[in-house]
Amino acid sequence: MVKHPNILQLVNVFETQEYFIFLELASGQEVFDWILDQGYYSEKDTGDVIRQVLEAVAYLNSLCIVHRNLKLENFLYYNRLKNSKIVISDFHLAKLETSLIKEPCGTPEYLDPEVVALQRYGRPVECRAIGVILYILSGNSPFYNEMEEQDYENYDKNLFRKILHGDYKFDSQYRDDISLAAKDLVSRLMEVDQDQRVTAVDTISHEWISGNAASDKNIKGGVCAQIEKNFAKAKMEESYVGDHNDDEAPEGTRTDQDLISIYGQRADARSDYPCNVTCQHHSFRRAIPAQPLDV
Protein backbone atom coordinates (compact mmCIF):
# COMPACT_ATOMS: atom_id res chain seq x y z
CA MET A 1 0.00 0.00 0.00
CA VAL A 2 1.48 3.35 -1.07
CA LYS A 3 1.15 5.81 1.79
CA HIS A 4 3.22 8.97 2.03
CA PRO A 5 2.29 12.49 3.19
CA ASN A 6 3.42 13.98 -0.13
CA ILE A 7 1.52 11.58 -2.39
CA LEU A 8 -2.18 12.04 -3.16
CA GLN A 9 -3.77 9.02 -1.54
CA LEU A 10 -6.04 6.46 -3.14
CA VAL A 11 -9.16 5.97 -0.99
CA ASN A 12 -11.17 3.43 -2.93
CA VAL A 13 -11.66 1.78 -6.33
CA PHE A 14 -14.92 0.55 -7.83
CA GLU A 15 -15.09 -1.62 -10.91
CA THR A 16 -18.10 -1.84 -13.18
CA GLN A 17 -17.56 -1.76 -16.94
CA GLU A 18 -15.02 0.93 -16.15
CA TYR A 19 -12.96 1.92 -13.12
CA PHE A 20 -13.92 4.62 -10.64
CA ILE A 21 -11.08 5.88 -8.45
CA PHE A 22 -11.67 7.84 -5.25
CA LEU A 23 -8.73 10.06 -4.31
CA GLU A 24 -8.06 12.52 -1.57
CA LEU A 25 -9.21 16.02 -2.38
CA ALA A 26 -6.32 18.46 -2.77
CA SER A 27 -8.06 21.82 -2.48
CA GLY A 28 -5.00 24.01 -2.86
CA GLN A 29 -3.53 25.42 -6.06
CA GLU A 30 -1.11 23.88 -8.50
CA VAL A 31 2.41 24.99 -7.66
CA PHE A 32 2.43 26.66 -11.06
CA ASP A 33 -0.45 28.97 -10.07
CA TRP A 34 0.75 29.48 -6.51
CA ILE A 35 4.03 30.99 -7.70
CA LEU A 36 2.25 33.45 -9.96
CA ASP A 37 0.05 34.60 -7.06
CA GLN A 38 2.89 35.34 -4.64
CA GLY A 39 4.10 38.80 -3.74
CA TYR A 40 7.43 37.34 -2.65
CA TYR A 41 9.14 34.26 -4.05
CA SER A 42 12.68 33.02 -3.46
CA GLU A 43 14.92 29.99 -3.95
CA LYS A 44 14.01 28.91 -0.44
CA ASP A 45 10.37 28.59 -1.54
CA THR A 46 11.48 26.47 -4.48
CA GLY A 47 13.69 24.40 -2.18
CA ASP A 48 10.73 23.64 0.09
CA VAL A 49 8.73 22.35 -2.89
CA ILE A 50 11.59 20.29 -4.31
CA ARG A 51 12.47 18.76 -0.91
CA GLN A 52 8.93 17.42 -0.47
CA VAL A 53 8.90 16.06 -4.01
CA LEU A 54 12.27 14.37 -3.47
CA GLU A 55 11.08 12.73 -0.25
CA ALA A 56 8.03 11.33 -2.06
CA VAL A 57 10.12 10.14 -5.01
CA ALA A 58 12.69 8.51 -2.72
CA TYR A 59 9.82 6.66 -1.06
CA LEU A 60 8.36 5.54 -4.40
CA ASN A 61 11.77 4.45 -5.63
CA SER A 62 12.23 2.34 -2.50
CA LEU A 63 9.10 0.46 -3.62
CA CYS A 64 10.43 0.18 -7.20
CA ILE A 65 7.69 2.50 -8.46
CA VAL A 66 8.41 4.91 -11.32
CA HIS A 67 5.92 7.77 -11.73
CA ARG A 68 7.10 8.49 -15.30
CA ASN A 69 5.30 11.82 -15.62
CA LEU A 70 6.72 14.12 -12.97
CA LYS A 71 6.09 17.72 -14.01
CA LEU A 72 5.16 21.01 -12.44
CA GLU A 73 1.48 20.61 -13.29
CA ASN A 74 1.29 17.42 -11.21
CA PHE A 75 2.39 19.08 -7.96
CA LEU A 76 -0.48 20.41 -5.86
CA TYR A 77 -0.86 22.19 -2.57
CA TYR A 78 -2.92 19.96 -0.30
CA ASN A 79 -5.02 22.85 0.97
CA ARG A 80 -5.06 26.66 0.92
CA LEU A 81 -3.40 27.17 4.30
CA LYS A 82 -0.15 29.15 4.33
CA ASN A 83 2.07 26.19 5.24
CA SER A 84 0.27 23.55 3.19
CA LYS A 85 2.23 20.50 2.12
CA ILE A 86 2.85 19.51 -1.51
CA VAL A 87 1.33 16.33 -2.94
CA ILE A 88 2.21 14.49 -6.17
CA SER A 89 -0.76 13.55 -8.34
CA ASP A 90 -1.51 11.81 -11.65
CA PHE A 91 -0.21 8.25 -11.49
CA HIS A 92 -1.76 7.22 -14.83
CA LEU A 93 1.64 6.35 -16.28
CA ALA A 94 3.19 4.93 -13.10
CA LYS A 95 4.81 1.51 -13.35
CA LEU A 96 6.36 -1.08 -11.09
CA GLU A 97 10.00 -1.50 -12.10
CA THR A 98 10.26 -5.28 -11.96
CA SER A 99 12.82 -4.97 -14.76
CA LEU A 100 14.06 -2.11 -16.92
CA ILE A 101 11.17 -0.39 -18.70
CA LYS A 102 11.08 -0.15 -22.47
CA GLU A 103 7.96 1.76 -23.61
CA PRO A 104 8.50 5.53 -23.96
CA CYS A 105 5.96 7.88 -22.42
CA GLY A 106 5.76 11.18 -20.59
CA THR A 107 5.64 14.88 -21.38
CA PRO A 108 8.20 15.96 -24.01
CA GLU A 109 10.09 18.70 -22.14
CA TYR A 110 10.61 16.45 -19.12
CA LEU A 111 11.76 13.29 -20.94
CA ASP A 112 14.96 11.50 -20.03
CA PRO A 113 17.65 10.89 -22.71
CA GLU A 114 17.13 7.12 -22.36
CA VAL A 115 13.42 7.53 -23.09
CA VAL A 116 14.07 9.73 -26.12
CA ALA A 117 16.67 7.26 -27.42
CA LEU A 118 14.15 4.40 -27.03
CA GLN A 119 16.47 2.64 -24.60
CA ARG A 120 15.50 0.77 -21.46
CA TYR A 121 15.17 2.98 -18.41
CA GLY A 122 14.14 2.99 -14.76
CA ARG A 123 14.04 5.08 -11.60
CA PRO A 124 16.80 7.57 -12.61
CA VAL A 125 14.32 9.23 -14.99
CA GLU A 126 12.59 10.74 -11.96
CA CYS A 127 15.55 12.83 -10.86
CA ARG A 128 16.09 14.02 -14.42
CA ALA A 129 12.51 15.34 -14.45
CA ILE A 130 13.03 17.00 -11.07
CA GLY A 131 16.09 18.75 -12.52
CA VAL A 132 13.96 20.14 -15.35
CA ILE A 133 11.35 21.24 -12.81
CA LEU A 134 13.96 22.99 -10.68
CA TYR A 135 15.25 24.80 -13.75
CA ILE A 136 11.70 25.83 -14.68
CA LEU A 137 11.03 27.11 -11.16
CA SER A 138 13.73 29.70 -11.75
CA GLY A 139 11.80 31.00 -14.72
CA ASN A 140 12.42 29.20 -18.00
CA SER A 141 12.63 25.81 -19.69
CA PRO A 142 16.17 24.42 -20.05
CA PHE A 143 15.47 23.71 -23.72
CA TYR A 144 13.38 26.76 -24.60
CA ASN A 145 14.29 28.69 -27.72
CA GLU A 146 11.94 31.40 -28.89
CA MET A 147 12.98 31.05 -32.53
CA GLU A 148 12.65 27.25 -32.56
CA GLU A 149 9.24 27.48 -30.92
CA GLN A 150 7.88 29.01 -34.13
CA ASP A 151 9.14 26.01 -36.14
CA TYR A 152 6.20 23.77 -35.27
CA GLU A 153 7.12 21.05 -37.75
CA ASN A 154 10.57 20.46 -36.23
CA TYR A 155 9.93 21.53 -32.64
CA ASP A 156 9.93 18.07 -31.05
CA LYS A 157 12.85 16.94 -33.17
CA ASN A 158 14.95 19.93 -32.04
CA LEU A 159 13.83 19.41 -28.44
CA PHE A 160 14.79 15.73 -28.45
CA ARG A 161 18.21 16.46 -29.90
CA LYS A 162 18.88 18.88 -27.05
CA ILE A 163 17.72 16.34 -24.48
CA LEU A 164 19.97 13.63 -25.94
CA HIS A 165 23.04 15.86 -25.89
CA GLY A 166 22.32 17.72 -22.65
CA ASP A 167 22.24 20.94 -24.66
CA TYR A 168 21.12 23.57 -22.15
CA LYS A 169 22.77 26.47 -20.40
CA PHE A 170 22.17 29.00 -17.66
CA ASP A 171 21.44 32.19 -19.60
CA SER A 172 22.76 35.20 -17.74
CA GLN A 173 19.68 37.16 -18.81
CA TYR A 174 17.54 35.01 -16.53
CA ARG A 175 20.01 33.24 -14.22
CA ASP A 176 22.22 35.93 -12.69
CA ASP A 177 20.03 35.97 -9.57
CA ILE A 178 20.19 32.18 -9.15
CA SER A 179 22.73 30.81 -6.67
CA LEU A 180 25.69 28.66 -7.70
CA ALA A 181 24.41 25.90 -5.43
CA ALA A 182 21.08 25.79 -7.29
CA LYS A 183 22.89 25.60 -10.64
CA ASP A 184 25.12 22.83 -9.32
CA LEU A 185 22.11 20.80 -8.22
CA VAL A 186 20.37 21.26 -11.57
CA SER A 187 23.50 20.02 -13.34
CA ARG A 188 23.68 16.92 -11.14
CA LEU A 189 20.00 16.12 -11.64
CA MET A 190 20.11 16.68 -15.41
CA GLU A 191 23.23 14.60 -15.98
CA VAL A 192 22.76 12.83 -19.34
CA ASP A 193 24.38 9.58 -18.14
CA GLN A 194 21.85 7.96 -15.82
CA ASP A 195 24.60 5.99 -14.07
CA GLN A 196 26.26 9.27 -13.05
CA ARG A 197 23.04 11.07 -12.16
CA VAL A 198 22.40 11.90 -8.51
CA THR A 199 19.66 9.91 -6.73
CA ALA A 200 16.68 11.31 -4.84
CA VAL A 201 18.17 10.26 -1.50
CA ASP A 202 21.51 11.90 -2.28
CA THR A 203 19.81 15.05 -3.54
CA ILE A 204 18.00 15.54 -0.25
CA SER A 205 21.39 15.92 1.45
CA HIS A 206 22.64 18.48 -1.10
CA GLU A 207 23.53 21.83 0.48
CA TRP A 208 20.86 23.65 -1.54
CA ILE A 209 18.14 21.38 -0.06
CA SER A 210 19.31 20.62 3.47
CA GLY A 211 21.77 23.43 4.08
CA ASN A 212 21.64 27.20 3.85
CA ALA A 213 22.80 27.57 0.26
CA ALA A 214 19.40 28.52 -1.18
CA SER A 215 19.05 32.27 -1.56
CA ASP A 216 16.22 34.16 0.13
CA LYS A 217 16.39 36.98 -2.43
CA ASN A 218 13.05 37.87 -3.98
CA ILE A 219 13.21 36.63 -7.60
CA LYS A 220 9.46 36.83 -8.17
CA GLY A 221 9.57 39.54 -10.83
CA GLY A 222 11.87 37.82 -13.30
CA VAL A 223 10.68 34.28 -12.59
CA CYS A 224 6.97 34.98 -12.87
CA ALA A 225 7.38 37.06 -16.00
CA GLN A 226 9.15 34.15 -17.71
CA ILE A 227 6.70 31.55 -16.40
CA GLU A 228 3.73 33.55 -17.63
CA LYS A 229 5.39 34.04 -21.01
CA ASN A 230 6.66 30.54 -21.63
CA PHE A 231 4.57 28.11 -19.58
CA ALA A 232 0.98 29.27 -19.47
CA LYS A 233 0.31 27.17 -22.57
CA ALA A 234 1.79 24.11 -20.87
CA LYS A 235 -1.52 23.53 -19.09
CA MET A 236 -3.03 22.72 -22.47
CA GLU A 237 -0.44 20.13 -23.39
CA GLU A 238 -1.05 16.42 -22.94
CA SER A 239 1.36 13.59 -22.24
CA TYR A 240 2.10 10.88 -24.79
CA VAL A 241 -0.92 8.69 -24.01
CA GLY A 242 -3.80 7.06 -25.85
CA ASP A 243 -7.00 5.20 -25.02
CA HIS A 244 -6.81 1.47 -24.46
CA ASN A 245 -8.25 -1.44 -22.55
CA ASP A 246 -6.28 -4.05 -20.67
CA ASP A 247 -6.87 -6.81 -23.25
CA GLU A 248 -5.24 -4.69 -25.97
CA ALA A 249 -2.29 -3.52 -23.92
CA PRO A 250 1.06 -4.60 -25.42
CA GLU A 251 3.48 -6.62 -23.32
CA GLY A 252 5.09 -4.51 -20.60
CA THR A 253 2.45 -1.77 -20.67
CA ARG A 254 0.79 -0.66 -17.46
CA THR A 255 -2.83 -1.79 -17.20
CA ASP A 256 -5.71 -0.79 -14.96
CA GLN A 257 -4.90 -3.63 -12.57
CA ASP A 258 -1.27 -2.48 -12.44
CA LEU A 259 -2.39 0.93 -11.23
CA ILE A 260 -4.47 -0.63 -8.47
CA SER A 261 -1.47 -2.76 -7.49
CA ILE A 262 0.70 0.34 -7.29
CA TYR A 263 -1.71 2.23 -5.07
CA GLY A 264 -2.67 -0.77 -2.92
CA GLN A 265 -5.52 -3.16 -2.38
CA ARG A 266 -8.96 -1.82 -3.20
CA ALA A 267 -10.92 -0.83 -0.13
CA ASP A 268 -14.16 -2.43 0.97
CA ALA A 269 -17.10 -0.76 -0.79
CA ARG A 270 -18.76 -0.16 2.58
CA SER A 271 -15.80 1.66 4.07
CA ASP A 272 -16.40 5.06 5.58
CA TYR A 273 -14.83 7.82 3.48
CA PRO A 274 -13.02 10.77 5.01
CA CYS A 275 -14.68 14.09 4.24
CA ASN A 276 -11.85 15.24 1.95
CA VAL A 277 -12.42 12.78 -0.87
CA THR A 278 -12.96 13.39 -4.56
CA CYS A 279 -14.07 10.89 -7.20
CA GLN A 280 -12.37 10.63 -10.56
CA HIS A 281 -13.77 8.52 -13.38
CA HIS A 282 -11.02 7.25 -15.64
CA SER A 283 -10.79 5.38 -18.88
CA PHE A 284 -7.14 4.44 -18.41
CA ARG A 285 -4.61 5.10 -21.12
CA ARG A 286 -1.37 3.51 -22.24
CA ALA A 287 1.83 5.04 -23.52
CA ILE A 288 2.14 5.58 -27.24
CA PRO A 289 5.66 4.70 -28.43
CA ALA A 290 7.64 7.72 -29.61
CA GLN A 291 8.95 7.70 -33.16
CA PRO A 292 12.69 7.06 -33.69
CA LEU A 293 14.57 10.32 -34.07
CA ASP A 294 16.82 11.33 -36.90
CA VAL A 295 19.60 12.79 -34.73
Residue 201: is it exposed, middle or buried by C-beta count within 10 angstroms (0-12/13-18/19+)?
middle
Q: How do residues 259-282 score in pLDDT, each as one tens digit?
A: 444 444 333 332 333 333 333 333
pLDDT score, position 253: 42
| pLDDT score recorded for residue 277 | 38
pLDDT along the chain (295 residues), means of 10: 92 88 90 82 91 97 95 93 92 90 90 92 96 85 72 81 90 72 94 95 95 86 67 49 43 45 40 34 34 41
CB 88 within 8 A of CB 281: no
**What is the Cα–Cα distance from 14 to 19, expressed in whole angstroms?**
6
Q: Look at the chain and count its residues.
A: 295
Q: Please list the alpha-helical segments (H only) found in the chain.
A: 31-37, 43-62, 113-116, 124-136, 146-149, 155-165, 172-175, 180-189, 200-204, 207-210, 220-231, 256-263
DSSP secondary structure string, 44-67? HHHHHHHHHHHHHHHHHHHTTEE-
Domains of the chain and any CATH numbers: 10-287 (1.10.510.10)
Q: How many helices (H) and strands (E) does the chain have?
A: 12, 9
| CA 110 to chain CA centroid, nearest Å | 8
Q: Each residue of 108-146: pLDDT tens digit?
A: 889 999 999 999 999 999 999 999 999 988 767 888 766
Q: pLDDT at position 187, please? A: 95
User: ∠ CA(231), CA(9), CA(254), 5° rounding?
Assistant: 75
